[in-house]
Amino acid sequence: MDWLEDELRRALARQEAPVGFADHVMARRAVRPSGARRWLAAAAMVVVAAGAAGAWRQYQGYEAKREVMLALRLSAAPMHRVQLEVRSISQ
């Protein structure tokens, strides 16, 4: 076998994990939220997002209605003047 490959196998041989490694993993695993808790959190987020989307659509509808009413009010005054002009000319 090639001497360099031999040396590489020696240099890159597996090393033991640090002392207490498995205990640290087990401890961190214990404090992680369980699967059920993660699903509950995800479901709560979906509900909140859906509520926010509904409120946003309602707000957009209200805004659109307000703009239409404003436009009607703005156009009503000139129309009234035009009607008076037409009436005076016809008389």
Decide: is 26 part of the binding site for other proteins (CB under 8 A): yes
What gap in Å lies between CA 12 and CA 55, rounded to an integer?
60
- Residue 28 or 87: which CB sits closer to other proteins? 28
Cα 15 to chain centroid distance, Å, stands at 44
CA 66 centroid distance within chain: 27
Closest CB to other proteins among residues 43, 70: 43
Should residue 21 be labelled a site residue for other proteins when binding is judged by CB under 8 A? yes
User: Residues 6, 63, 67, 85: which binds other proteins (CB under 8 A)?
Assistant: 6
State the Rg of the chain over Cα. Answer: 37
> Interface with other proteins by CB under 8 A: which range of 5-13, 41-49, 58-66, 74-82?
5-13
Can you tell me the distance from the alpha carbon of 59 to that of 54, in angstroms, rounded to the nearest whole number? 9
13 scored as a contact of other proteins (CB under 8 A): yes
Yes or no: say if 64 and 56 are a contact pair by the CB < 8 Å rule: no
Binding interface with other proteins (CB under 8 A): 3-18, 21-22, 24-26, 28-29, 32, 35
